Amino acid sequence: MPSTVQRERKGFYQSDEVSAAPATPEGGALEVLAGCSIIAAVNSAEKFVSALASPTRAIYLLTGTPLTLPDMVARARDHGKICLVNTDFLDGLSRDRHAIEFLAAHRVHGIVSTRFEILKVAHSLGLITVQRTFAIDTAAVTAALRCLAQFVPDAMEVLPAIATPKVAQRLHNVYPTLRIIGGGLIENVKEIEDLLAAGVDAVSVSDERLWLI
């Protein structure tokens, strides 16, 4: 093979296939995410069990290690859930391409991160991408728009959720089809209803009592 051809890494192995266009997310996973108004944000093993039994079909994993994640993802799949992993919260994995390849090899559906470089790698491997941004002030929202100019994910999660409707208006002025998720400081059903009524596509919630609505 000519030396000018760059080989593509897949999982732990080196492939001799020529790098091609980015893969597309697993069939149906994006549609499932698009149909979910509530995403279970899981930060403990106990909450993971509750999420498996809940009506929601989408799970954010904010916990796990290289030893526990493969089993958690497999169990989520067995329960018909899509599993998106927040790499900013994992233990035992660095925030680089090798970590994303490891997760892709174990069939996660998507990656959530504040780092657009990580999301670009995830996109190239055919995973759903969700960029997390903290809307603490106007400068933070402007920075989010600069990131979007370099890479447009499948969805943007805005924290705290109370800021999401206002931020969504600015984002949609430039990216009208971008899916917007609100997360953080959601305490009751009315807050969820108000966010959805304001045009937010979905909310991520860690309070398992709110996964049942």
Confidence band, pLDDT 50/70/90 cuts, at residue 27? low
Domain boundaries, given as residue ranges, for the chain: 26-212
Q: Answer whether residue 35 shows pLDDT above 60.
A: yes
Closest CA to 103 of 76, 133, 134: 76
Which amino acid does the sequence have at 97?
R
Q: How far apart are CA 168 and CA 176, in angstroms?
A: 9
pTM of the predicted model, to two decimals? 0.86
CATH architecture of residue range(s) 26-212: Alpha-Beta Barrel (3.20)
How many other C-beta atoms lie within 10 A of the C-beta of residue 197?
Answer: 9
Q: Answer whether residue 10 shows pLDDT above 50.
A: no
pLDDT in tens, 113-166: 999 999 999 999 999 999 999 999 999 999 999 999 999 999 999 999 999 999
| DSSP bridge partners of 86 | 112
How many other C-beta atoms lie within 10 A of the C-beta of residue 24?
Answer: 11
What values do phi and psi take at 82, rounded to 5? -90, 145
pLDDT, mean of residues 40-57: 96
